[in-house]
Copies of this chain bind each other. A is one copy, B any other.
Amino acid sequence: MILLHKKTGKKFYLENKDKDFNTHFGIIKKEDLNKEPGSIVKSHLGEEFIIFEDNFNDIIGYLKLGPQSVHKKDIGLLYSLVPIYSGMKIVEGGTGSGILTSYLANSVKPNGKVYSYEIRKDFYKIAKKNFEKLKLLDYIELKLKDINNGIEEKNVDLIVLDTPDPWNTLNFAYESLKIGGYLASFLPNITSVLKLLDLNEKFLLIGIYENFVRKWEYVRGKVLRPENFEIVHTEFLVLFRRI
């Protein structure tokens, strides 16, 4: 499991460094693949590659994706509202392909743990493989269970829901969270947000948020301008706290 960068910035992800690796910039030999991180190696066409260390941020881009996944910008929004750090105990509803789970587990390691509930067997399998690739299996307990049938964990710091019916989780979440713990729910429709707010009785509402990220394009000496098209809506984030 190595990552290589050519000088253009293109990345390649290898699951196996026991055989030569083919790129359209040429073949890199097995011996070269096993050199120290930071080494520069050449393909048979003379193109230079850099051997990269394992890095969460690089590997996360190469994971297998199932249908549902919280967008990176919204993960950033969650982190800005609820700092997530080593030692936390987190419950997640709706593992999906495990992207958000991986961010969370990567943040709570080495002393914390993420307990993630998923009802679909196919997503469970995809997520499991992704955690393996990221070497995060020790920090995640993946459960093939419906979070709306009950949350087994107690004294939890944070519960994150990426499910279509978070109002069905409200009571279980309240019992599971410690005092001061947070409940975060990602929802694509304002109609669902409204239903969740109306059905909440016990939690303190911290806020309802949306997040837009705008990327700019740059061409040296010529152009600096915002990108023309952007995702302007993914999900609303509703944040509650148990008090």
Residues of A whose CB lies within 8 Å of any CB of B are 3, 5, 7, 9, 37-38, 50, 52-53, 55-58, 60, 72-73, 75-83, 85-86, 103, 106-107, 109-111, 178-180, 188-191, 193-194, 197-198, 204-205, 207-218, 220-234, 236, 241, 243
Contact = CB atoms under 8 A, between A and B. Distances in A.
The 10 closest A-B pairs by CB, nearest first: A76-B80, A226-B233, A208-B216, A76-B76, A230-B232, A79-B79, A189-B225, A212-B212, A86-B86, A210-B214
Given A211-B213, A232-B232, 18 more contacts: A5-B180, A57-B83, A58-B180, A72-B80, A75-B80, A79-B79, A83-B107, A85-B106, A189-B224, A190-B225, A193-B224, A194-B194, A208-B216, A208-B218, A208-B224, A210-B213, A210-B214, A212-B232
A111 B211 CA distance: 31
A229 B228 contact: no
Contact of A37 (B7, B52, B179, B191): B179
B225 A215 contact: no
Contacts of A83: 56-57, 60, 103, 106-107
A223 B179 contact: no
A38 B231 contact: no
B107 A225 contact: no
Q: Which among A78, A107, A179 has the greatest number of chain B C-beta atoms within 10 A?
A: A179
Contacts of A53: 178-180
A197 B79 CA distance: 28
A50 B179 contact: yes
Given A50-B179, A232-B229, A224 B194 contact: yes
Contact of A198 (B5, B79, B220, B233): B220
A211 B211 contact: yes
A3 B180 CA distance: 10
B224 A215 contact: no
Nearest to A226: B233
A83 to B, nearest CB: 5
A178 B83 CA distance: 26
Q: Which among A194, A216, A230 has the greatest number of chain B C-beta atoms within 10 A?
A: A216
